[in-house]
Amino acid sequence: MKRFVAAAIFVLGACVTDANAQASRFTGKDLFEYCTSDQTSVAYFSCVLFIRGFLVGVNLTSTGTGRVSVPNSNMFLCLPNGLNAGLAAAAIVNSWRSIQLTKGDVGPLEKAEADVVLPTLLMLAYPCK
């Protein structure tokens, strides 16, 4: 049951798009725009739901360590204990803006799928120690 609820939350978060976005493509740019929306808006709620689904999945696969291996690489995603979707949203926005400041733009992150961009930005925000 726990896994079903986690999967349902992730699917719900992953499927939320606005009327102007393609239903099958939720990009990094979309995620950034949603996460920088007013915190009382549907867009921000969509951001938090998407991230919450991801965090639930990480918790299920990390056996409580907060450390998950990234498939097809020798990298790990290490999240702090107690990280919630609101804090993670702030962290990815800060990582995005940091990339913008240092490189001038975010390059491929804008067009990449949000499910790839989210862990990438979290890895920048919370490097493994």
Q: Which residue has the tokens 């925000």?
A: 125
Is 93 within 8 Å of 52 (Cβ atoms)? no
**Diameter over CA atoms, the chain:** 45
* The predicted structure's pLDDT at residue 87: 97
* Residue-wise pLDDT tens digits, 75-119: 888 888 889 999 999 999 999 999 988 888 888 899 999 999 999
Sorting pLDDT into bands at 50, 70 and 90, what band is 23?
low
Distance CA 96, CA 32 (A): 8
**Three-state DSSP class for residue 120:** helix
Q: What angle do CA 30, 36, 41 make, to 5 degrees?
A: 90
